[in-house]
Amino acid sequence: MFFPQSDLLEVTLGSRGGSRSTSPGPEEGGAGGAWCVRVCLLRLVQFALLLATLATVANFVASALLAAPVPRPRPLLPPVSEDALPHASPATLLDLDDFELLHEAEAACRPARLFFLFLVHSRPDHFLQRQAIRATWGGARDLGEGWATRTVFLLGRGGGGDGNSVAPESSVFDVEGVVAREAARHGDLVVGSFVDHYHNLTYKHVMALRWAARRCSHAIFLVKADDDAFIDVPALRALLGRTFSVPPPRRTLACNALPAGTQPQRSGKWAVSREAYPWVEYPRYCAGLAYLVTPTVADLLARAAQAEVAPRVWVDDVWVTGLLAEALDLRPHYLNLRYSYDHDEVAQWAASARPAAPPPYTFVHLDAARPDWRSTLDTLWSHALTVHTSLVPNATATEPSAAS
């Protein structure tokens, strides 16, 4: 407590044996009363300051607690019974009640012995990426031993330059019109009625899984991939032949699994807000470049997504292969060592590898913005075919013209 210097002197002298009394006499009554008033006012001011300080501290603590990351329970939700998952109407996709397929790859699932169906997520304006895949690993047709493989591309609407499209720079021509002609020409596009935007990736992901599970339920493996991926199809076939029976266990999920503990990005293009995902870390999930599932798992994930058995996050890989897979108690097989995300390393290998050398990785991410991406992709596929000559590529793959 703080005292005026004169008051402190009086208290001190009074405590030394009474050399001066602190009690005012009759002649000191007026001065003593003023002293008491000053002391009382001082105490009130001090008390008010104390209350204000406590209130400030309380507000700070409360704000800190509210802003602090919320530890994520493991698991986030108890496992969900497969029988409890509803089947959605074809006209419903998540919260879209007027969903429809604008183009559908009718012939993709016709082979009776279909080993792989590759589900390649693409943007409407990525004509070059789709053509490159058709001319390389996505153009493979025959795996040998009577097994076939097919590739389809998954898109939303886009290209109108309205600010919601992923391709406003492509609005100099009619992207949707070119996509329609591409679909008619190649028959390998599945196009949904939602706007193709990175915040709508969950629509595309669930559309792909649901379409494949319904149309290609006889396929041995469904392989989700991005359109900047290279996949060594014959090496993957050989790997799975050594690892799984045919058919594999019905709940098979295999991928480059990222361990639980990855923190969400809270800023930038790929930011996830605390309102959308309040926890401090993601569960284990599959990196989005490519992963494999059985049609059964694809159906379970699509139905779990429609039922929203886990909080919906627009980062589709986290939501589908992380939160939903965890709710379904799906445990991935780790293929992590088969993946590469280092374009430079792979490009250097492609430039110096001996002719008969197999690609060093089964799954490779290639940066399509790099000038050497197509040559690197072609070289990787050439090496894959050199090692495995039984594949019959699709020789009819041609590129749609943006001006046609």
Q: Which residue has the higher pLDDT, 248 or 70?
A: 248
Q: Which of 191-200, 262-271, 386-395 has the highest mean pLDDT?
A: 191-200
Q: How far lies 369's CA from each of 334, 350, 374, in Å?
A: 29, 18, 10
pLDDT value of residue 270: 76
Question: For residues 174 and 153, what is the distance between their CA atoms, to the nearest angstrom?
Answer: 19
User: Residue 329: how many CB atoms within 10 A of its CB?
Assistant: 12
Mean pLDDT score, 129-133: 98
Residue 97: what residue type? D
Mean pLDDT score, 12-39: 55
From the centroid of its chain, how far is CA 318?
4
Question: For residues 382 and 353, what is the distance between their CA atoms, to the nearest angstrom?
Answer: 12
Joined together, the tokens standing for residue 177 give: 């019109």
Mean pLDDT score, 231-248: 95
Q: Which residue has the higher pLDDT, 47 or 79?
A: 79
pLDDT value of residue 55: 64
pLDDT value of residue 271: 86
Q: What is the DSSP letter of 45?
A: H
Least confident of 58-62, 206-210, 344-348, 386-390: 58-62
pLDDT at 399 over 90: no
pLDDT at 9 over 60: no
pLDDT at 356 over 90: no
Residue with tokens 């293929």: 335
Q: Which residue has the higher pLDDT, 95 or 268?
A: 95
Q: Tell me: the pLDDT tens digits for 274-290?
A: 888 888 889 999 999 99
The 10 Å CB-count burial string (b at 16+, else e) for 70-88 is eebeeeeeeebeeeebeeb
Q: Tell me: the pLDDT tens digits for 36-70?
A: 778 778 887 777 777 667 666 655 544 443 334 44
Q: Tell me: the pLDDT tens digits for 300-354?
A: 999 999 999 988 999 999 999 999 999 999 999 999 999 999 999 999 999 999 9
pLDDT value of residue 333: 96
Stretch (H or E) spanning 289: strand 285-293
**34 band by pLDDT with thresholds 50, 70 and 90:** confident
**29 band by pLDDT with thresholds 50, 70 and 90:** low
Question: For residues 6 and 19, what is the distance between their CA atoms, to the nearest angstrom?
Answer: 16
Which pTM does this prediction carry? 0.77
The backbone torsions φ and ψ at residue 258, rounded to the nearest 5 degrees and listed phi first, read: -90, 130
The backbone torsions φ and ψ at residue 340, rounded to the nearest 5 degrees and listed phi first, read: -135, 135
CB 125 within 8 A of CB 107: no
CB 137 within 8 A of CB 217: no
Q: Which residue has the higher pLDDT, 58 or 377?
A: 377
- At 142, is the secondary structure helix, strand, or coil? strand
pLDDT at 160 over 60: no
Those residues with Cβ within 8 angstroms of residue 392's Cβ, 6 or more apart along the chain or in another chain: 140, 141, 142
Q: Is the peptide bond before 4 cis (omega within 30 degrees of 0)?
A: no
**187 band by pLDDT with thresholds 50, 70 and 90:** very high
pLDDT value of residue 394: 57
The backbone torsions φ and ψ at residue 368, rounded to the nearest 5 degrees and listed phi first, read: -70, -10
Mean pLDDT score, 125-152: 96
The verdict on domain 97-340 having CATH code 3.40.1130 is no
Stretch (H or E) spanning 226: strand 221-226
Domains of the chain, residue spans: 97-340
- Terminal-to-terminal C-alpha distance of the chain: 87
Q: What is the mean pLDDT of the chain?
A: 83
Stretch (H or E) spanning 273: none
Q: What is the DSSP letter of 61?
A: H
